[in-house]
Amino acid sequence: MRRGWGRWLPAVLVMSCVAHAAAANDLLRLYRLAENHDATLQAALAQRDAAIEAKPQALALWLPQVSANASAERERLGEQLIAPQTVASTTITGCQIAAGAATQVCFGNGHGYGLNLSQTLWSFQSFSQLREASAQAAAAEANLLAAQQSLILRVAQAYFGVLSAHDALITFQGARQSYGVLLNQARGRQQTGVGPRADSDQAQAYYDATAQSVIDSQNALDDAELLLSEVTGAPATMVAALRDTIPLESPDPASVDDWVSAALKDNPLVRSAQLQVDAAYHDIGVQRGKGLPSIAIAAGRSRDWGDLTIGGNSADDQIGVAVTWPLFQGGAVASQVRQSRALWKQAMASYAGAQRDAERLTRSSYRGVVTGIARIAAARRSFDSAGVSLEASKRSLEFSLGITGAEFNLLSTQNQYFNAQLLYSQTRYDYLTALLTLKQQAGRLAEADLAAIDGLLVEKPP
């Protein structure tokens, strides 16, 4: 009976994992669902689309500007007379002079249209605004790339979170059932007088301690599934488990300084912060240009038709070069320049912070990959040793009935076995997360990296 019980827990865990993967959602498919569902990525995409419009708007200032106007009006025109009129009279149609009036009043209808064309030849403000818009558009593209890479990592982390929480729940459930078997055996020996009450009390303590762990792990699994569903928009109650053995690859290149250099150069968040500095610097020129002269070609044509009483018909065509120089605007330009300089300094500080964050996370994730390989190997050895120790404790109890301490030794070794099992499972998720984070910081994370991990999941049955 005891030997059958000794083989029962590993078999249950394997069967659970296989059943867990039977209706699994693969990692790559969940990511593709997340691309169309994740609110963070959708917001970044809309922000990019809005930001890149600054460039054509700035370019439009250098293109011809055309405007047209038209009018239809009724006019009243008064003209002063040399001497007051003594009697009322009408001079021409539409004009009247009242008796004793010193003014002749005329009425008439007028119509007209105008067409104006201008082309900027030089404007320091528009020139700086175009350069600022180019930097802003490039920064928006970098931010979108950062959001895409962040989504890859968040999907993987949420996926591993579900797997980790599920492993913990299965482990604690198995531990509780195993301790329950030991508790029943200890009580049986106590009732027959073979074993002391202390063994029953110890088994009861271990059994009771697992109740809270099972509850907490179930809550953690529910939260992890909700998080994955929030990101992907798909039910996360069934996900494919990770294979027991996964390939362990060291970072390539092997130097952490090479990874840091790549991060400072290619990390999209660092790149975006650098472009924001450029945009803020050009904005200083935009504000300064508001007080500098601008040169433009201006041309226009206007035509007016009206009654003779209000001047008759007229035509006006003009072309020339116009220079505009706002000399003084109440100190607004100087204030805007100072404000823009302060924002430039703020962008510089943010850029420095982005560089420091990238370097810190790159070194941390690099260390996580390197040490993760050693941690997985150590956790595997610990798990295997705990399994051997557990089998030895079972045999010792089997052949040492009535010897005080044998039951406690089995409880202790069994507890070590479950802890080692859970630790081994978690180290693999930590290693894969560190590997993806390292690539993200270097700006190299892509969908192909998720596909590689997807190949490490338990395959679905045909």
pLDDT one-digit tens code per residue, 322-360:
999 999 888 999 999 999 999 999 999 999 999 999 999
Q: Which helix or strand (DSSP H or E) is residue 301 part of?
A: strand 294-306
Alpha carbon of 316 to those of 115, 119, 308, 341: distances in Å? 10, 20, 18, 46
The answer to the question of residue 266 being in a domain is yes
Q: What's the mean pLDDT when you consider all of the chain?
A: 84
The answer to the question of residue 18 being in a domain is yes
The pLDDT of residue 413 = 82
The CA distance from 5 to 444, in Å, is 49
The answer to the question of residue 108 being in a domain is no
Question: How many other CB atoms are found less than 10 A from the CB of residue 115?
Answer: 15
Closest C-alpha to 206, from 410, 438, 434: 410
- Token pair for residue 235? 């039910």
What CATH number does residue 256 fall under?
1.20.1600.10
Alpha carbon of 25 to those of 39, 133, 224, 241: distances in Å? 21, 43, 15, 10
Question: Could you tell me if 72 and 110 are in contact, meaning their C-beta atoms sit under 8 angstroms apart?
Answer: yes
Q: Where are the alpha helices (DSSP H) in 82-196?
A: 124-192
**DSSP per position, 184-219:** HHHHHHHHHTSS-HHHHHHHHHHHHHHHHHHHHHHH
- Token pair for residue 447? 């969908």
Q: Which amino acid is at 5?
A: W
Can you name the residues that pair with 306 across neighbouring β-strands? Answer: 110
The pLDDT of residue 17 = 40
Burial class (CB in 10 A: 0-12, 13-18, 19+), 328: exposed
What are the pLDDT digits (tens) for 108-123? 888 999 999 999 999 9
pLDDT at residue 8 is higher than 70: no
Burial class (CB in 10 A: 0-12, 13-18, 19+), 302: middle
Of 64-68, 204-208, 272-276, 305-309, where does mean pLDDT reach its minimum?
A: 305-309
Can you name the residues that pair with 80 across neighbouring β-strands? Answer: 103
Beta-carbon contacts of 325 under 8 Å, excluding residues fewer than 6 positions away, are 292, 293, 294
Q: Which amino acid is at 423?
A: L
- Token pair for residue 443? 């700006």
* Upper half-sphere CA count for residue 126 (Cβ side, 13 Å): 17
Question: Could you tell me if 262 and 443 are in contact, meaning their C-beta atoms sit under 8 angstroms apart?
Answer: yes
Question: Could you tell me if 137 and 55 are in contact, meaning their C-beta atoms sit under 8 angstroms apart?
Answer: yes
The CA distance from 246 to 267, in Å, is 28
Q: How many domains does the chain have?
A: 1
The answer to the question of residue 112 being in a domain is no
The pLDDT of residue 1 = 33
Closest C-alpha to 444, from 268, 301, 292: 268
The pLDDT of residue 295 = 95
The answer to the question of residue 65 being in a domain is no
Handedness of CA 230, 232, 238, 243 (dihedral sign): negative
Helix (H, G, I), strand (E, B) or coil at 113: strand
Q: Which amino acid is at 397?
A: L
The pLDDT of residue 92 = 55
Write phi, then psi, for 164 (nearest 5 degrees).
Answer: -65, -45
**pLDDT greater at residue 291 or residue 199:** 291
Q: What share of the chain is helix, strand, coil (3-state, %, to 5)?
A: 65, 15, 20
pLDDT at residue 273 is higher than 90: yes
* Upper half-sphere CA count for residue 314 (Cβ side, 13 Å): 14
The answer to the question of residue 375 being in a domain is yes
Residue 89's pLDDT band (cuts 50, 70, 90): low
Closest C-alpha to 429, from 147, 151, 162, 235: 162
Say what percent of the chain tops pLDDT 90: 57
Q: Which amino acid is at 379?
A: A
Q: Is the previous residue joined to 268 through a cis bond, with omega within 30 degrees of 0?
A: no
The whole-number average pLDDT for the span 70-80 is 82
What radius of gyration do the chain's Cα atoms show? 41
The answer to the question of residue 191 being in a domain is yes
pLDDT at residue 142 is higher than 90: yes
The CA distance from 167 to 192, in Å, is 38
The pLDDT of residue 2 = 35
Residue 228's pLDDT band (cuts 50, 70, 90): very high
pLDDT at residue 269 is higher than 80: yes
Question: Could you tell me if 49 and 181 are in contact, meaning their C-beta atoms sit under 8 angstroms apart?
Answer: no
* Upper half-sphere CA count for residue 129 (Cβ side, 13 Å): 19
- Domain hosting residue 264, numbered range: 2-58+126-289+331-454
Say what percent of the chain tops pLDDT 70: 84
Residue 427's pLDDT band (cuts 50, 70, 90): very high
Place of tokens 């996900």: 239
Residue 459's pLDDT band (cuts 50, 70, 90): low
Place of tokens 């999209």: 268
Residue 14's pLDDT band (cuts 50, 70, 90): very low
The CA distance from 32 to 67, in Å, is 48
Burial class (CB in 10 A: 0-12, 13-18, 19+), 187: middle
What are the pLDDT digits (tens) for 210-226? 888 899 999 999 999 99
Residue 20's pLDDT band (cuts 50, 70, 90): very low
The answer to the question of residue 233 being in a domain is yes
The pLDDT of residue 283 = 96
Closest C-alpha to 436, from 24, 21, 27: 27
Closest C-alpha to 83, from 63, 100, 107, 66: 100
